[in-house]
Amino acid sequence: MGPGLILLEMLVGLAWTSQTERRLKAPAAHFLMQEKYECHFLPDGAAPRGEVWFLFRHFWDRQEVLRFDSRQGYFQALSPLTEPEARGWNRDPQTLRYYRAAQERFCGHNYGAAREAQVLGRTVEPLVKISPTKGDPLAHHTLLICTAAGYYPPGIDIKWLKNGQEQTQGVGYDDEIQNADWTYQYQVMLETVPQRGDVYACQVEHKSVKEPISVQWEPQTSDSAKSKVWTGAVGAVLGLVFVAVGLYLYLKSRKGLLS
């Protein structure tokens, strides 16, 4: 991305089935096949909306081999292996119309929201929550999910703390996801065996806040578990009463026999 340009990656990692793919042989290492749809525009005031442009880029083994630039309006082969593909697509009026229209369909349509979010440097504070789940009711392990949602710009750090200590075992990280409104969401999971008295905290650091956001969760005894504990305690007390009464009657009867 050149100086003063804003790049919005619209779509990444599409499968590409074509003659070029069949001609190319995948290397043993460092293999990557990737397609990118990008929108470029200059910062606010530097260029009118009409100068927003669209790029389609195809990569093979981490090298760009084919490109469509809406400012030129045709496909450009960046490798000898993609020259037949570029010639074929440039001769197809329907394909050219589709990619030329992408400048307005993908880029011009979203120009206002993109300019507000990226050019003006808008930041949005994440909403953080903890969701406990337990797949097997008989299992002792609990999966705690910390979700940070609706934040901007991308890039966020989430840590799990147990009784004030950072947890590294049993932690799983999801991919950062872009929402339709240009905000992002991210999840970090912790698999643990919670005990009564433990305090778990999800700590989130983001550009939109000066101090980390911390949300706490404590294991709670369910109503059914409390009922079972209470029933067990009452049963134990009644058992002791019955034993005491029985012992008293037994000793009284023996005393009567001996007298």
CB atoms within 10 A of CB 135: 8
User: Are 103 and 53 a contacting pair, CB within 8 Å?
Assistant: yes
**Separation CA 149–CA 126 (nearest Å):** 5
Average pLDDT, 10 consecutive residues per value, the chain (259 residues): 40 37 50 80 53 86 90 93 93 93 79 56 86 67 92 92 94 87 88 90 94 92 52 60 62 58
Residue 107's pLDDT is: 79
Q: Number of H helices and number of E strands within the chain?
A: 5, 14
Q: What is the pLDDT of residues 171-226, one digit of tens each?
A: 999 999 988 677 899 999 999 998 888 999 999 999 999 999 999 999 875 444 55
**Separation CA 60–CA 26 (nearest Å):** 9
**Separation CA 250–CA 259 (nearest Å):** 15
**Separation CA 217–CA 214 (nearest Å):** 10
The CA-atom distances, in angstroms, between 11 and each of 37, 39, 90, 178, 223 are: 5, 11, 22, 11, 48
Q: Is 62 exposed, middle or buried (0-12, 13-18, 19+ CB in 10 A)?
A: exposed
